[in-house]
Structure 1
């Protein structure tokens, strides 16, 4: 239910943290925000998949419809 859309602001926040706030810091301090940004980027591309509430609801109603 909007996992991809929710990941976009988090991705932008982590990119700002890494590339603007920590720009003069060593890579060691930039590493964690960049790691989170890469995770949010993957979530924005792939979505939640089988772990999503959408998938669970669809499966539940699809199963009930086929039983009737």
Structure 2
């Protein structure tokens, strides 16, 4: 076996246990931080209630605030533990899609080139959907594959699903 093959085999073994952990840690931090800001802040959802997609546009702004805040506080903890990872990922994806529609999508655009200007971190009148899109892409492998071996999901499945 060559040195390269041994090295790649070692990485494969290590990745089997921990490849999803950096995604879980990153996303848990980002979403929890957002939920914590809502927990310590005041509700500003009333100003954009009309921008919320169906069915959230039918709910009161206070309920949307509470749903978003608690989802961003509880679901990241589940990601961190690797417990109910697929459900937590799906919930955070819903929160993110609603946030893109209500806050990050440009108010007006007439061409794909104009829409592409919103693929930015800062809002200069064209939207700013780059970061939430990155979150969606990072959540996708956790939704499709789960948390991996270094998780409570894996431990529970090994313990009770024999």
TM-score (norm 2): 0.32
Between the two proteins, the alignment pairs up a number of residues equal to 59
Larger radius of gyration: 2
Q: 1:22: how far off?
A: 1.3
Matched residues in 1 for 2:130 and 2:145: separation? 22
Q: Equivalent of 1:32, from 120, 131, 138? A: 131
Query: Structure 2: where are the runs of 5+ without partners?
Result: 1-82, 108-117, 121-127
State the secondary structure of the residue aligned to 2:135: helix
- 1:49 alignment partner in structure 2: 148
Matched residues in 1 for 2:145 and 2:153: separation? 14
8 Å contact from structure 2 (residues 84, 153) kept in 1: no
Give the 5 Å matches for 1:4-43.
4-24=86-106, 26-28=118-120, 29-43=128-142
Higher helix share: 1
Q: RMSD across aligned C-alpha pairs, in angstroms?
A: 1.9
TM-score (norm 1): 0.69
